[in-house]
Amino acid sequence: MTFLLIIQQPFLYKNVILANMKTIAEEFVVASENKVFDTDHRRIINFNIGKYDTAVGRGLSRISNLENAKRKAHLVKWKVIENLDKVLPEFEGNFQRRGGKVIWANDAAEAQREILAIMKRAHAKTVVKSKSMVTEEIHLNEFLESNHIESLETDLGEYIVQLLGQKPYHIVTPAMHLSKDDIAKLFHERFGTPADATSEQIVLKARELLREKYLRADVGITGANFLIADTGSIAISENEGNARLSTTFPKIHIAIVGIEKIIPSMADLDLFWPLLATHGTGQNLTVYNTILSGPRQPGETDGPEEMYVILLDNGRTNLLAKKDQRQGLYCIRCGACLNACPIYKNVGGHTYNTPYSGPIGSVITPHMRGMEDFKHLSYASSLCGACSEVCPVKIDIHKMLLINRHDAVKEELNTKKEGRAWGMWKKAMMSRKLTDFFGGWTKNAILKMFFKKTWGSFRTMPKVAEKSFSKQWMEKEINGK
């Protein structure tokens, strides 16, 4: 089944694109149609997500009352998002009391400027980075490179896509679209490892290449899975230990975190760490879970001399202002909705042209980067509800997508032609006389004339019956049959 076969309301979707002629939307359609016929991509994704599904099934079975845990997580995130104006200053005060520095950044450009200022004050030239979607959001690697600063990804998946000059494919597993053979070929071409290298050989080579970088780096940059308000700490979950090395060896540690990542208390990690791990990878807990509460304290033997937390807005308050959609900010970035989504599994992560792909990306991106440019993502859904079903914090994702579509129409971002078409349809549907005025042959001719191209080249046009159900029923009653 292709993207064009499973997407709902395709004529509406394509009319929006044709009317606005937005390059981003047009590229999405073209890239999606190409990707769904890439059989090699389908094979790799089905294999990798199949392994994920097996692991997650085992992991979730170990939670005694999963539904109750998800309800509690939803409630905690609801409360904290509704009170961001109180909990964020609480985090700031507690973090600063231990010698840390908090910087508030309204957008990507401001975050970039603040990071560059820190780097220049320290005369820093090298950065080691642990996995962080927020740094992808602000295009940090490209920005640092343009300022002659070396920025190296240390997460193996991120390191691989950086070597390829690509963006992460998935929120949790950046190189999900690559097979082991693809990676072995890459390492063979770049570093001379055997062309048929095993996974162990690839990991050992990466470790060898990265070890010296940790020791030489001037600055370590990370994201954070959670901001903890009551202690002024950040919590980082990982499986490779690279985040710990990135925050321990360099003299300066910068954590860039979205303002929505806040949780009220250290005790809440008892709930959120297992939910993140089981839904993200199927583990009970990730291998390394680190809590950082500021720079090195007197008497401590390791850690950075300076630690900064950059609290990034970058459109999040736009989403916060939308009462019906602000629950999109509850997301803990586990990636479960991507792995459950039939659209994502067909069109892949790169087609979305945004760091946050899949269902949750389609919810939040139009508000963070502009409804006019990214409204098309909210139509890239079958509305099957699988994303909402698997979400560990019970975000009603498919409902949010429908509300986004409503907002796009309300803001008059659709075409006049489309508006007229829906107006005529509504008028006909609300009048039995008008509905029955034309016969099935005429209705089919109208559909073929006006909607054949926009319905999709891989779909068969629906055929309207010659007589409506009500007319058939009336005839049956009159004839006594």
Quick: pLDDT tens for 178-227. 999 999 999 999 999 999 999 999 999 999 999 999 999 999 999 999 99
Radius of gyration from C-alpha coordinates of the chain: 25
Identify whether 198 is part of a domain.
yes
Answer yes or no: do 108 and 236 share one domain: yes
Distances (CA, A) of 209 to 35, 219, 447: 33, 18, 61
Answer yes or no: do 302 and 276 share one domain: yes
Q: What is the pLDDT of residue 301?
A: 87
Identify whether 418 is part of a domain.
no
Answer yes or no: do 132 and 12 share one domain: no
Residue-range definition of the domain harbouring residue 332: 3-37+317-410
- Token code pair at residue 195: 């062309």
Q: Name the amino acid, one letter, at 397.
A: I
Dmax of the chain from CA atoms?
A: 96
Identify whether 46 is part of a domain.
no
Confidence grade of residue 20 (pLDDT, cut at 50, 70, 90): very low
Answer yes or no: do 125 and 70 share one domain: yes
What CATH number has the domain bearing residue 130?
Answer: 3.40.50.10420
Quick one: DSSP state of residue 305? S
Out of 379, 410, 441, a domain closes at 410
Answer yes or no: do 157 and 81 share one domain: yes
Q: Looking at the chain, how many residues does it have?
A: 481
Quick one: DSSP state of residue 465? -
Answer yes or no: do 9 and 77 share one domain: no
Identify whether 49 is part of a domain.
no
> Residues 459-479: pLDDT tens digits?
788 888 888 888 888 888 777
> Residues 129-150: pLDDT tens digits?
999 999 999 999 999 999 999 9
Quick one: DSSP state of residue 467? S
Count of domains forming the chain:
3
* 181 CB-near residues (< 8 Å, 6+ apart): none
Answer yes or no: do 336 and 223 share one domain: no
CA distance 345 to 42: 8
Identify whether 43 is part of a domain.
no
> Residues 292-335: pLDDT tens digits?
999 999 988 889 999 999 999 999 999 999 999 999 999 999 99
Q: Are 118 and 92 in contact (CB under 8 A)?
A: no
Q: Are 361 and 344 in contact (CB under 8 A)?
A: no
CA distance 477 to 194: 79
Identify whether 331 is part of a domain.
yes
Answer yes or no: do 234 and 145 share one domain: yes
* Average pLDDT value for residue range 72-92: 98
- Token code pair at residue 14: 């394509």
Q: Are 109 and 202 in contact (CB under 8 A)?
A: no
Upper half-sphere CA count for residue 167 (Cβ side, 13 Å): 21
Out of 263, 291, 314, a domain closes at 314
Identify whether 339 is part of a domain.
yes
What CATH number has the domain bearing residue 373?
Answer: 1.10.1060
Q: Name the amino acid, one letter, at 396.
A: D
Identify whether 351 is part of a domain.
yes
Q: Are 119 and 149 in contact (CB under 8 A)?
A: yes
Answer yes or no: do 211 and 337 share one domain: no
Out of 283, 314, 345, a domain closes at 314
Q: Are 381 and 340 in contact (CB under 8 A)?
A: no
Answer yes or no: do 94 and 132 share one domain: yes
Give this prediction's pTM: 0.88
Answer yes or no: do 125 and 228 share one domain: yes
CA distance 44 to 39: 9
DSSP for 236-279 reads EEESSSHHHHHHHSSSEEEEEEEGGGEES-GGGHHHHHHHHHHH
Strand 126-129 versus strand 288-292 pairing type: unpaired
Answer yes or no: do 445 and 296 share one domain: no
